[in-house]
Every structure is written in structure tokens, then in C-alpha cells.
């Protein structure tokens, strides 16, 4: 039977989380149908149709689907579930919000944040902040799975799937959208950036964070991340947090500045290809995972790095 | 309004866990256990709502082993009014926990259930959403702000791009994120008082829930380790290495 993949998009653009989840879907095996739900989702649906490995795109457009509210989106997915034996979504804030609701409505267990497809019913997933890896097998009638996209490459383009319009289902009317306060930035997105520079508590203030980290990020074309300590202290917004309960990233280069390296932070970045740590404290645990460590005052080192790179 | 709060006993967040050599799981013997950090935030939020006059009773519930009583006592010491322990030695999966808590909710009739967004042991991030689905209620997940007003909750949620604010009809399930509040510590007198607060015991069978695992864990292993690399002496050397040796700049 076929696989239903919930697309991650903002209406006009399909995020590359979808292409990465598609790679996991292809490994599970079966026809992959991508569901693009939103108020205006046609553009994102057309982009999904171009991904190689997509058999069909289903597009559902309705005002109730505009803001990824869990109840109407889950109701839509459940209405389609009869045709599928696997339902997949990227472990984004949307996927994490809606898929467990779908699983419960179908009375099946969910497998969260898989990092490897061992076979069509067996998966690896991290537990304890990535300090242990479980291999789990599901025998559920329907497999409901979220995918940790940092562990999968993006599927390539080159497909030409058909796009079929489907009807939305009745809105359960339990929740209403009030407002978004989304960060807008010209920098790359954290979860798809090739280079990330992250700041920790050592930055000392929001002003210093901006003054020292951002110029280097712009010079390198990097996304900006932060440790939980920096976010809790108000130096950086919540959507920059990298770690067990924030975003999990695996860029080519991760530069940790003034971050001590708590296990919860390491959980979010230790699969990066190259890790650089800049820290004044040479005993900081971050150096145990860093390919290149520089013991230095970051207020001197970072401006120098901006000039040198 | 009554608020129901779920709490889970987990390995303390400061403990570096060890995987058993035979691959059968994680070593839990003689390891420090604590309340799941997100659940502390949930308890704190319920108490603040009560202190603000938005709720009149805070009931905490845990599904877990007999020792989960300690975790419930911690919540009582923080200020919760009474506790319910649904005792089982099984490793209960999120779906079964949600079914049990649904059973508790049908008895207790809370106006709001607060659940931690994830437990730091299995990192599933499922129970609150599943509970909300089973009850047919609204969900406000990953909350960094909760305001209660007539018949609804306004929830600000931490999402990938920043923050999203939604209104949800009550009764509802809210799951807590890190920035919602800073949990209080229990004072010694309150710890003493908590020992006398009521704690009801049940079993999953009381709610007609089978806790047999539906997901088969084939093995548990250590992640591939990462070795420490080299220390460089200067920014110039670092940039040089990144360009030439690593080829990432």
C-alpha cells in the first residue's frame, strides 16, 4: 500500500524538510503521495510534484487549514488514512503537533523522530537526548512516523507527479488562529543551513550576541543558533535554540561560541560534519566533540574570524 | 475550574545514562530519578493559574512504578492539592498513558489538562496530543504563555519560525515548553505537609487500559561516538584548517 507524506510548506514555498522526509519514505518503500494542505497551497503542491519519487500530490485548500491548526489538519489526514498503510511527516513543529493526534485517532502507536530506516517496519530513533539509539519494530496496522530530517538527504527534483485537488473536511472548530510572530531573516534556515554559528551564555547579553555573532554569520552565509542558556537568558529568540528540545541540525560546519556543551545541546548538533568550538574555558565539554577547538576570548576571536574568512 | 497535571518519573536530566552491554536497554538501577523537567513547568503553571484565581484545584497524576509516588509527592510539595498514582511496572507507551489519563479525566472532569511537551527519557513528544485527540478536545502544544478567560485559553506556542498564538476552547490540553515559567522549589515545611496530602492509587485495569507494549524494541545501543579533534592556537590557524583541511569554508 501507499505512503502519505504531509508536506511542510508556508503556502508559497515547499520547505526542504519535505524533500528529506521523502528520502525516508522512499526507503520504507511504496507509492508516495504528498499531502499539501493550506489556504493557498497550489504553488507548494506544484513544487512537491517535481520531487523525484512522488507518485501523486494531493492538495487540500481551505481557510481552516491556513495555520496548521492541529484539529482540522488531523481530521483531514484521518479522512485519507484508509488508503495508506504509512503516514509520515517531518518532525517539525507542525509534524510534532499533528501526527500524534492522527495516531491516537487511528488507535495506533507513533514512532517519533526516526533517524534511519532499517527495513519497511523497523527504524532507529534516538532516546535520552541521543545518548542511546533504539531499534524499534512496529506491527501496527498503520505506521505513523515522524522523521528527523537532519539524518536524511534531500530527494532530488526531476519528477512530474499529477496534482489532485481534494476536499477539506469539516473543521472541528476547537481552536482559532490569533497571530504569528515569526522571525524574518535573510539568513538561511537553521535546519537546512550548510554552516551554523551558535552562541551561548558567554555572550552575556542580547546586544553582544547581535554584535559579535551576526557579523560572522553574514560573512560566512551562516544560519544562527543558540544554546538553551542563551535563549532562556533572552539573548536569542526561541526558534534559534539547538538541542534535545529545540532544533536538531547537521550542517557541514557548526561553530559553537561560548557554549559549554551540555548533553542537551550536543543532542542537537553532534551529527554536524565539522564542529568548531571557541571557548575561554579549556575544560569545557564542547571540546570533547569538536574537530577544531580554539581556547580564546570570543569577543576577540570572532571579530578576527570575520576579518580572516 | 480543576486542573489536571501529568508528571513522569524519569532519569534526572544531569545524569549521563549508560546503555546496557547486552543491548537490552538503558541502565536504570541506582540512577538518580527526578520529575521530568517539562512536568515541573506544568505543575508550576497550574499553581500560578490557581494563585491567579483561574483554578480552584490542582490534581497531579502519574502513570508509573510504585516509586513514582516520590514524584507525585514532589508535585504536592510544590503546591498541588492531591495526587493520583496509576501504578504499573510496565514501560507504558504514550498511547496507553493517554488512554489512562483520559480515564482519569472522565472521572475528574478537569477544565484544563497540562502535560509536558516531552519526557526526557523516550523523547516521544506524543502524550498530550494523543490525550487531546482521545478526549476530542482542542490542543495547545509547546506553550510559552497561557492565558485563561471565559471558556477559552489563549496559548502562545513555540514553533519553528518563532511564535504562534491560538485560542483554544476549554476544556483543552496544553503541553508546556521551556519558556513558560521557572518552576519553584518546594520548601521544607511544604515537603513535610505534602506527606499528608491525599494520594489515590489505581491500576491501568481500573481504566480498562492494556499497557502491553505495541512497539517492539529490538535493541538499544550507544550512539556512534565523536572523537575530540585538535586544538588550534589562533583564529588564523582555525580559518586555514577549515579552508584547506576540512574544506568547509
Question: Over 90: is that where the pLDDT of A136 sits?
Answer: yes
Note the pLDDT of residue A245.
87
Note the pLDDT of residue A1.
79
In this structure, the number of other CB atoms found within 10 A of the CB of residue B9 comes to: 22
Question: Over 90: is that where the pLDDT of A309 sits?
Answer: no
What is the rounded average pLDDT of the residues B185-205?
A: 97
What's the fold here for domain A195-308?
Rossmann fold (3.40.50)
Residue A19 confidence class, pLDDT cut points 50, 70, 90? very high
Note the pLDDT of residue A228.
96
Note the pLDDT of residue B246.
94
Note the pLDDT of residue A13.
94
Q: Which of A93, A108, A110 sits opposite B159 (nearest CB)?
A: A93
What is the rounded average pLDDT of the residues B138-163?
A: 96
Query: Taking all residues of chain B, what is their mean pLDDT, rounded to a whole number?
Result: 97
Could you give the ipTM of this predicted complex? 0.96
Question: Over 90: is that where the pLDDT of B228 sits?
Answer: no
Residue B221 confidence class, pLDDT cut points 50, 70, 90? very high
> Which chain A residues have a beta carbon less than 8 Å from that of B98?
104
Q: How far is CA A48 from the centre of its chain?
A: 17
Question: Over 90: is that where the pLDDT of A180 sits?
Answer: yes
Sequence-ordered list of residues with C-beta below 8 angstroms from that of B225, at least 6 positions apart, any chain: none
Using a 10 angstrom Cβ sphere, with 0-12 exposed, 13-18 middle and 19 or more buried, the burial of residue B27 is: middle
In this structure, the number of other CB atoms found within 10 A of the CB of residue A115 comes to: 22
Edge to edge, the sheet with strand B152-159 lists A175-182, B162-169, B152-159, B138-149, B172-176, B112-116, B2-6, B57-64, B82-87, B199-202
**Helices A70-80 and B127-135: crossing angle, nearest 10°?**
80
Note the pLDDT of residue B163.
96
The values of phi and psi at residue B46, to 5°, are -65, -40
Question: Over 90: is that where the pLDDT of B227 sits?
Answer: no
- Specify whether the backbone of B25 is left (phi greater than 0), alpha (psi in -120 to 50) or beta: left
What's the fold here for domain A2-165?
Rossmann fold (3.40.50)
Residue A183 confidence class, pLDDT cut points 50, 70, 90? confident
Kindly report, residue by residue over B122-143, the tens digit of the pLDDT. 999 999 999 999 999 999 999 9
| Domain B2-246 CATH assignment equals 3.40.50.620 | yes
Distance CA A39, CA A168 (A): 10
Note which residues in 98-137 of chain A have CB less than 8 A from chain B.
98-105, 107-113, 122, 126-137
Note the pLDDT of residue B41.
98
Which secondary-structure segment (H or E) carries A42? helix A42-49
Whether chain B has a CB inside 8 Å of the CB on A72: the answer is no
Note the pLDDT of residue B224.
86
The 3-class SS string of B80-99 reads: CCEEEEEECCCCCCHHHHHH
Residue B197 confidence class, pLDDT cut points 50, 70, 90? very high
Question: Helix, strand or coil for residue B19?
Answer: strand
Residue B225 confidence class, pLDDT cut points 50, 70, 90? confident
Kindly report, residue by residue over B86-119, the tens digit of the pLDDT. 999 999 999 999 999 999 999 999 999 999 999 9
What is the rounded average pLDDT of the residues B5-17?
A: 96
Which secondary-structure segment (H or E) carries A186? none
Note the pLDDT of residue A184.
80
- Say what percent of chain A tops pLDDT 70: 100
Are A122 and B94 a contacting pair at CB < 8 A? Answer: no
Note the pLDDT of residue A248.
94
**Helices A93-105 and B94-108: crossing angle, nearest 10°?**
70
Tell me if A2-165 shares its fold with A195-308: yes
Whether chain B has a CB inside 8 Å of the CB on A151: the answer is no
The values of phi and psi at residue A168, to 5°, are -75, 165
Sequence-ordered list of residues with C-beta below 8 angstroms from that of B114, at least 6 positions apart, any chain: B3, B4, B5, B6, B42, B43, B45, B46, B173, B174, B175, B176
Note the pLDDT of residue A206.
97
Distance CA A244, CA A264 (A): 5
Kindly report, residue by residue over A226-262, the tens digit of the pLDDT. 999 999 999 999 999 999 989 999 999 999 999 999 9
State the cell numbers at B129. Answer: 496530543
Residue A185 confidence class, pLDDT cut points 50, 70, 90? confident
Are B216 and A291 a contacting pair at CB < 8 A? Answer: no
Distance CA B225, CA A289 (A): 9
Query: Taking all residues of chain A, what is their mean pLDDT, rounded to a whole number?
Result: 96
- Specify whether the backbone of B179 is left (phi greater than 0), alpha (psi in -120 to 50) or beta: alpha
Q: Which residues pair with A162 in a beta bridge?
A: A56
What is the rounded average pLDDT of the residues A88-103?
A: 98
Are A178 and B19 a contacting pair at CB < 8 A? Answer: no
Question: Helix, strand or coil for residue B65?
Answer: coil
Whether chain B has a CB inside 8 Å of the CB on A239: the answer is yes
Whether chain B has a CB inside 8 Å of the CB on A288: the answer is yes
Residue A46 confidence class, pLDDT cut points 50, 70, 90? very high
Q: How far is CA A170 from the centre of its chain?
A: 29
The values of phi and psi at residue A293, to 5°, are -115, 140
Alpha helices in B109-187 (DSSP H): 127-135
Are B94 and A100 a contacting pair at CB < 8 A? Answer: yes
Domain ranges in chain A? 2-165, 195-308
Question: Over 90: is that where the pLDDT of B245 sits?
Answer: yes
* Nearest chain A residue (CA) to B175: A97
What is the rounded average pLDDT of the residues A273-288?
A: 97
Question: Over 90: is that where the pLDDT of A2 sits?
Answer: yes
Q: CA separation (Å) from B213 to A276, B99, B129, B216?
A: 41, 13, 19, 7
Contact between A101 and B133 under an 8 Å Cβ cutoff? The reply is yes
Q: Which residues pair with A164 in a beta bridge?
A: A58
> Which chain A residues have a beta carbon less than 8 Å from that of B19?
131-132
Kindly report, residue by residue over A142-167, the tens digit of the pLDDT. 999 999 999 999 999 999 999 999 99
CA-closest candidate to residue A130, choices A227, A232, A243: A243
Amino acid at each position: 500500500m501507499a505512503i502519505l507524506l504531509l508536506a511542510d510548506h508556508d503556502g508559497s514555498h515547499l520547505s526542504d524538510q519535505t524533500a528529506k522526509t521523502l528520502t525516508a519514505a522512499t526507503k520504507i518503500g511504496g507509492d508516495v503521495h504528498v499531502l499539501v494542505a493550506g489556504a493557498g497551497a497550489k504553488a507548494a503542491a506544484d513544487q512537491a510534484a517535481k520531487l523525484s519519487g512522488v507518485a501523486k500530490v494531493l492538495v487540500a485548500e481551505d481557510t481552516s487549514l491556513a495555520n496548521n491548526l492541529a484539529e482540522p489538519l488531523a481530521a483531514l489526514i484521518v479522512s485519507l488514512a484508509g488508503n495508506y498503510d504509512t503516514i509520515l511527516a517531518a518532525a517539525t513543529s507542525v509534524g510534532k503537533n499533528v501526527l500524534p493526534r492522527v495516531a491516537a485517532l487511528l488507535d495506533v502507536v507513533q514512532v517519533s523522530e526516526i533517524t534511519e530506516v532499517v527495513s519497511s517496519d523497523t527504524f532507529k530513533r534516538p532516546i535520552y537526548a541521543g545518548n542511546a539509539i533504539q531499534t524499534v519494530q512496529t506491527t501496527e496496522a498503520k505506521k505513523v512516523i515522524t522523521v528527523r530530517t537532519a539524518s536524511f538527504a534531500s530527494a532530488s527534483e526531476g519528477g512530474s507527479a499529477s496534482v489532485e485537488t481534494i476536499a477539506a473536511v469539516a473543521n472541528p472548530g476547537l481552536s482559532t488562529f490569533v497571530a504569528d510572530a515569526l522571525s524574518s531573516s535573510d539568513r538561511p534556515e537553521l535546519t537546512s543551513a550548510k554552516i551554523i554559528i551558535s552562541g551561548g551564555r558567554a555572550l552575556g547579553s542580547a546586544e553582544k550576541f547581535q554584535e559579535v555573532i551576526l557579523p560572522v554569520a553574514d560573512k560566512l552565509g551562516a544560519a544562527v543558533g543558540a544554546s538553551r542558556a542563551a535563549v532562556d537568558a533572552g539573548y536569542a529568540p526561541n526558534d534559534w535554540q539547538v538541542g534535545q528540545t529545540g532544533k536538531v541540525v547537521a550542517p557541514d560546519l557548526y561553530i559553537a561560541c561560548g557554549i559549554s556543551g551540555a548533553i542537551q545541546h550536543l543532542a542537537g548538533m553532534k551529527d554536524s560534519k565539522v564542529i568548531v568550538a571557541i571557548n575561554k574555558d579549556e575544560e569545557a565539554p564542547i571540546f570533547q566533540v569538536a574537530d577544531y577547538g580554539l581556547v580564546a576570548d570570543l569577543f576577540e576571536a570572532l571579530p578576527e574570524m570575520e576579518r580572516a574568512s | 475550574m480543576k486542573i489536571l497535571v501529568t508528571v513522569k518519573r524519569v532519569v534526572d536530566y544531569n545524569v549521563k545514562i549508560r546503555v546496557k552491554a547486552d543491548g537490552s536497554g538503558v541502565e536504570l538501577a541506582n540512577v538518580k530519578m527526578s520529575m521530568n523537567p517539562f512536568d515541573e513547568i506544568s505543575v508550576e503553571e497550574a499553581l500560578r493559574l490557581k494563585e491567579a484565581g483561574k483554578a480552584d484545584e490542582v490534581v497531579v497524576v502519574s502513570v508509573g512504578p510504585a516509586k513514582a509516588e516520590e514524584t507525585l509527592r514532589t508535585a504536592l510539595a510544590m503546591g498541588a492539592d492531591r495526587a493520583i498514582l496509576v501504578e504499573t511496572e510496565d514501560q507504558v507507551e504514550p498511547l496507553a498513558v493517554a488512554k489512562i489519563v483520559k480515564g482519569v479525566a472522565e472521572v475528574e472532569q478537569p477544565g484544563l489538562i497540562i502535560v509536558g511537551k516531552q519526557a526526557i527519557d523516550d523523547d516521544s513528544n506524543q502524550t498530550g496530543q494523543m490525550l487531546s485527540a482521545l478526549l476530542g478536545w482542542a490542543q495547545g502544544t509547546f506553550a510559552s504563555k497561557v492565558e485563561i478567560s471565559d471558556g477559552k485559553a489563549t496559548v502562545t506556542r513555540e514553533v519553528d519560525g518563532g511564535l504562534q498564538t491560538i485560542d483554544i476552547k476549554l476544556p483543552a490540553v496544553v503541553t508546556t515548553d521551556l519558556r513558560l515559567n521557572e518552576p519553584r522549589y518546594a520548601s521544607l515545611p511544604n515537603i513535610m505537609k505534602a506527606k499528608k496530602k491525599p494520594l489515590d492509587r489505581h491500576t491501568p485495569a481500573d481504566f480498562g487500559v492494556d499497557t502491553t507494549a505495541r512497539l517492539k524494541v529490538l535493541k538499544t545501543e550507544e550512539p556512534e561516538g565523536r572523537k575530540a579533534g585538535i586544538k588550534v592556537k589562533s583564529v588564523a590557524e582555525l580559518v586555514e584548517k577549515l579552508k584547506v583541511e576540512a574544506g568547509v569554508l
